[in-house]
Structure 1
């Protein structure tokens, strides 16, 4: 029983410390957004992986980095509307 309580306390501590770990009220949209942002940040933060993606897409590294950073704004689309609110839409500029 003490192990279960200790495990629950550790989970709550981690959820308070790290944003992406979620909590009982985390929506599917929030979870997907965190996963996508973590992935994009990891790719941008690891130069060999960024170079690999640039090579695979036959684009300059700087352009791929800019695209990934831009995608971090709304990686899975606009948030779902809450009750009594109108949906918010952010338009993207041309990605040449």
Structure 2
């Protein structure tokens, strides 16, 4: 597992935990002054590429 894959897994796991626990989702929505639905949508979008595009590998098989 590369450093990038580890970081992506950590980010996705954290976002999934925040989305799954409604109290945490409410806390984030209040802190950001956004609606709960908008915060959930933003977190789901971040789960697609949480750390940006993957780095180019030197050897591609």
Query: If the TM-score is normalised by the length of the shorter chain, which range does it land in?
Result: over 0.9
Among 19, 35, 38, the alignment partner of 1:60 is: 35
Q: 2 CA distance for matches of 1:53 and 1:81?
A: 34
Distance 1:54 1:37, change over 3 A: same
Aligned to 1:19: none
Aligned to 1:45: 20
Among 68, 71, 81, the alignment partner of 2:46 is: 71
Q: 2 CA distance for matches of 1:84 and 1:29?
A: 16
The answer to which structure has the higher helix fraction is: 2
Summarize deviations over 1:24-54 as a string: whole Å, max 9, x none. xx00000000000000000000000000000
Q: Based on CA coordinates, which of the two structures has the bigger radius of gyration?
A: 1
CA RMSD for the aligned pairs? 1.2
TM-score by length of 1: 0.60
Q: Secondary structure of the equivalent of 1:40?
A: helix
Higher-RCO chain (CA-CA 8 Å, sequence separation at least 6): 2
Q: How many residues align?
A: 60
Q: Secondary structure of the equivalent of 1:34?
A: helix
